Amino acid sequence: MRFFLLLSIALLLAGCASKPVEHFTYLLRSDQARESGKIEHDSPFFLGKLTIANYLDQPGLVVATGNGRVRAARHHQWAEPLGLSLRRFLSIEISVARDKHIAPHPSSKESVGSIDISIDQLHSNESGEAILLAFWQFIWADQTYSFRFSESLPLQQDGYDALVAAQTKLLKRFAADVAKSLPVTN
């Protein structure tokens, strides 16, 4: 009996001595310089509806583990809702690529000029790559234009820091493609 009591105390002390798991949060931010001042609405375009696949729209960074399975990280999470971060990030990056301001939200109720975006994949895969699959469309001159973006990037090293860096690069490429697809306006 005494042996079990000593064993229990030893196990309890060993459990208390273990290091707690560290929690990391990541911000999705553009590194483009921002100037203070009035925002000029020199473009008729704005970000309209932004849809994110349900399995991505949660705090944990997502890793595909094969056979259609995905895992959301418990200790590596986005610092704020992904939809908010993506809207800000894409608005800035599209604006920079186009050299004209793209509003993060509509300034009127018109659908003309609305850039609707759908993010279907934004995760890593079992091959060590970050993947982005996204669609966008806009209405211009009474026509709807639809596009698809699908790219992957190998992670430069193991870990979630490398995943976030690769996802940021992919999102910048995506924003540049969106900007190139928009018609030239005065």
| 52 CB-side CA count, 13 A | 15
Q: Using an 8 Å Cβ cutoff, are 105 and 47 in contact? A: yes
**Residue 182 exposed, middle or buried by CB count within 10 Å (0-12, 13-18, 19+):** buried
Tokens read off for 44:
């008729």
Handedness of CA 151, 154, 155, 158 (dihedral sign): positive
Q: Which of 78, 70, 72, 62 is nearest to 24 (CA)?
A: 78
Mean pLDDT of the chain: 86
pLDDT per residue over 83-106, tens digit each? 999 999 999 999 999 988 887 777
pTM of the complete model: 0.85
Rg for the chain, CA atoms, rounded: 22
pLDDT of 7:
47
pLDDT per residue over 115-136, tens digit each? 999 999 999 998 899 999 999 9
Distance between CA 146 and CA 134 in Å, rounded? 11
Domains of the chain with bracketed CATH: 24-181 (3.40.50.10610)
Residue % of the chain over a pLDDT of 90: 61
